[in-house]
Structure 1
Amino acid sequence: MTRFAPALLALLTAAPALAEGFDRPTPNAQSATAEFWFGLACIALIAALAVVARVVARR
């Protein structure tokens, strides 16, 4: 146990010094192009769901 005491003491004293605070990233605003493609994808998803609902309702 006496062999590990200096290593354990060094580890415990250095651990708080090595810790770094977390800086939360700030999100960027969406561009108009991204909003356009997101809107188009939403419309395509709704259309695909309508087609699937119609096919399933026939069976």
Structure 2
Amino acid sequence: MLRLLCAVFTVFPALAFAETFERPIPQAQSATAEWLFLGASLALVASLVAVHVLVKRR
């Protein structure tokens, strides 16, 4: 198997070289994503308050 790989890389040397890493460009958040994040954050806070109230009763 190793001999086969060496033969392939000898015949096609471009296969042995890796491409350079290109950093992904971050995309800006849309207004919809920001509103959904706000809603999820408020739901999390409300659930934490509900758990606090339930645990405090016991």
Normalising to structure 2: TM-score of the pair? 0.71
Mind listing any 5+ residue stretches in structure 2 that lack a counterpart? Answer: none
User: What's the C-alpha RMSD, in Å, of the aligned pairs?
Assistant: 2.2
Distance 2:22 2:56 in 1: 51
Q: How does 1:27-42 map to 2 (within 5 A)?
A: 27-42=26-41
Distance 1:20 1:54 in 2: 56
- Does the alignment pair 1:21 with 2:20? yes
1:9-57 superposed Cα distances (whole Å, 9 cap, x missing partner)? x57xx48x52111101011000001100100110010000000011011
Find the counterpart in structure 2 of residue 52 from structure 1. Answer: 51
Q: After TM superposition, where is structure 1 displaced by more than 2 Å over at least 4 residues in a row?
A: none
Distance 1:30 1:58 in 2: 41
Normalising to structure 1: TM-score of the pair? 0.70
Mind listing any 5+ residue stretches in structure 1 that lack a counterpart? Answer: none
Distance 1:34 1:20 in 2: 34
Aligned residues with identical type, % of pairs? 50
